[in-house]
Each structure stands twice: as C-alpha cells, then as structure tokens.
Homo-oligomer: A and B are copies of this chain.
Amino acid sequence: MVCIGVVDTTFARVDMGAAAVDELRSLMPHALVKRLTVPGIKNTVWGALRLIREGCDAVMVLGWVGPTQVDKYSYLATSIGLMQLQISTGVLVIDVTVHEEEGGGDERRLKEIALDRTRKHAWNLVQLLTEGLERYAGKGLRQGYPHAGEIL
C-alpha cells in the first residue's frame, strides 16, 4: 500500500494538514495517509524524515512563514534542508508554503490561498505518483492563485 506523509505545524493559522489529508484520501482512497504536526517550519525537515523512516513513499510539507526577513531566512534554510532530505532518501517531498504577507492583510484571503495551494499540491503529488504531469508542462499552473497560463 502506498503511504503518503503529511507534515504540518502549530504555527500555521489554517489547518492545512486536515485539508491535505482530506484531499489525499479523496484522490487516493487506498493510500495510507500519515500525519505529523511539528511546531514550525524549521521542524518540518525532521518531521518529514520521521515519516520517511516509517515507510512513507512521498511527503507533503505544509509550512507557514512570517513576514520578516528572519522568517524568510528560516524559509530558505528549510528549503535547503528539504532538498538535502530528498537527495539522501530519494523520497519526493512537496512543500506547500504560505507566506503571511500574501493575504495583503486580509485573513480570509490568506486562508483561501492556503487551502487552494494545499489541495492543488495534493493533486500534484498524486499525479506524480500515478499518471505524471507531462501533459501540463509549461502551462503556467499556479497554486493559491489563478493559473498564469502558457504564453502563446
């Protein structure tokens, strides 16, 4: 049975983890979905590693990043860590990251972005494990925003 891991945080202000679990179960009813919640984005590398060691074939990492420069350095360090993790394990890790300033001060908008991005990346992950994404190459797909589309 395919196992898909979901790592989310208590720092996030939207329950992206629940949305990811729902979407993954809906798209892959026979997969085992395992969820692990950590405090913040910098802890997601350890969280993903633990789920990989428990047998997950792919992991979604759901991060929430504050608006300051220090927050962005934490994002950068985490992104580098998630790349290293994939290189050392070979397991796909798709990160879904929401940056607090994306809402432009509108919390409802921010929540919509977070949920849309989570669901679309759940679909991306499932596509990568099944039919692939080749037919969507260069189509300007976006998560959290409307698709930008292909330049014709």
Contact = CB atoms under 8 A, between A and B. Distances in A.
Interface of A: 8-18, 35-39, 42-43, 45-46, 49-50, 53, 69-70, 72-88, 90, 92-95, 99, 107-108, 110-111, 121, 124, 128, 132-134, 136-143, 148-151
Contacts of A35: 134, 137
Contact of A37 (B37, B80, B137): B137
A87 B49 contact: yes
By Cβ-Cβ distance, the 8 closest A-B pairs, closest first, are: A81-B83, A15-B138, A77-B79, A13-B140, A10-B141, A37-B133, A10-B136, A37-B137
Contact of A151 (B18, B82, B110): B110
A137 B149 CA distance: 34
A50 to B, nearest CB: 8
Copies in the complex: 5
Binding site secondary structure of chain A: helix
